[in-house]
Amino acid sequence: MQGSVRQRGAQWSYRIDLGDDPTTGRRRQLERGGFATKRMAQKALREALTELDRGEFVEASAKPLAEYLGEWLKGERLRLRPGAFDATKGHVDSYIAPRLGHVTLKALTRPMVRGFYADLREAGRVRGGGPLSAKTVYNVHRTLSRALEAAVEDRLIPRNPAKRGFSAPDSPVQATWTARQLREFLEGMTDDRLYALWRVAVTTGLRRGELAGLRWNDVQLEAGRLAVVQQLAKGAGTVSAGPTKTKRSRRPVPLDARTVEALRAHRARQDDERATWGEAYDPHGLVFCLENGTPLHPDAVTKRLRRHARRLGLPWIGLHGLRHSYATLLLEAGVHPKIVQERLGHSSITVTMDIYSHVIPSLQGEAADLGAALVDGDEPLEADEAMDLDNDHSTDEPKEGEAA
């Protein structure tokens, strides 16, 4: 087989002579374009010839991207949680299909994809035009890249044109409350029916869906512990109980004494509400719910927090901000990041360190001062203190075989 490259306008392409078609006798040629330089086209030509020799060559499909994405979404609906699927479908319907849906899989190139991202950044907003946030553009990129990677696996295209050349934007640091502001918040919420929910949120870092999905069966007040095993999540126009965000999100969470007492008082109040409603009570078994037992909508929890934050004169940080406030305080207090990761239910300690990188510089400074003091002998450790440090390997996690 022979091949050649040629320039078309500002771009380069390659052509391969595949010989005569054994069925029709007509000459067959394969051509691909969209390369920015001659060298890139020559490299792609060499790769294509090698793949043809090995019998590994994939002839790209002429199916329009929109048609392929519609088929791909059917499989994603079965694989993803409802909320995640809604977000994925939203990326396809609002951004990808309107701009790239008419392009065939075989014609889709990296320059085309990069231009698509640039267009979103400049005027990607669905309503009113205007720039789309870097975070949203990145999320759209992840959806497109995941879809095209599936097309590669299905041998519809030889390689993923969205796989490389796009890095995640720097996420803005999540706003948090100080320890004093958290105390002011809890003091201002003592008369609220859901005071225990706010107390658990502030002292455990549970996610919004985990709070709304917490069941009494997952709480052991005598042991001072709760277990995160499910969440309430939005999706497909409804709110339903489902698995946690990741496998590591399923976790035991030890509770402090005041939070346990708040939960006891909350359960007593809930028992009175159940008696008042009688047979009309909705027995979901949830710790935090409406007076009649109906589950809390996650958005309703956020709206309730917003209203109280405004009443107390506190800056708005959202429920996720409470989670970040809790984690930031733990790290600033010197709690090991591994313990913070386990309490928050992050998939790995790397995730924890990435999210809270803004806290690390201050910890590094403290470590530098402490290390120098130990080396210089300014603060020598007594023998018994050193022994205590060596032997102190305890964590808040239950031992193997112990109930969550």
Residue 58 has which token pair? 């994939």
323 catalytic residue (yes or no)? yes
Strands 251-254 and 225-228: antiparallel
Active-site entry in 141, 199, 207, 245: 207
Active-site entry in 14, 68, 95, 356: 356
14 catalytic residue (yes or no)? no
356 phi and psi, to 5 degrees?
-105, 35
Active-site entry in 81, 234, 250, 297: 234
CA distance 284 to 216: 10
> H helices within 220-344, ranges in order?
257-277, 298-311, 318-332, 337-344
Residue 227 has which token pair? 């277990």
Active-site entry in 91, 141, 208, 346: 346
346 catalytic residue (yes or no)? yes
281 catalytic residue (yes or no)? no
393 catalytic residue (yes or no)? no
207 catalytic residue (yes or no)? yes
CA distance 42 to 120: 31
Residue 95 has which token pair? 């951004």
- Strand order from edge to edge, sheet including 219-220: 219-220, 225-228, 251-254
Asked if 259 contacts 267 with a C-beta cutoff of 8 angstroms, the reply is no
* Residues 198, 329, 338: CA angle, nearest 5 degrees: 105
Distances (CA, A) of 7 to 33, 46, 70: 9, 17, 34
Amino acid identity, residue 209? G
Asked if 5 contacts 38 with a C-beta cutoff of 8 angstroms, the reply is yes
Active-site entry in 141, 245, 323, 343: 323
Q: For 44-102, give the DSSP string.
A: HHHHHHHHHHHT---PPP--BHHHHHHHHHHHHHHHS-HHHHHHHHHHIIIIIHHHHTT
Catalytic site residues? Answer: 207, 234, 320, 323, 346, 356
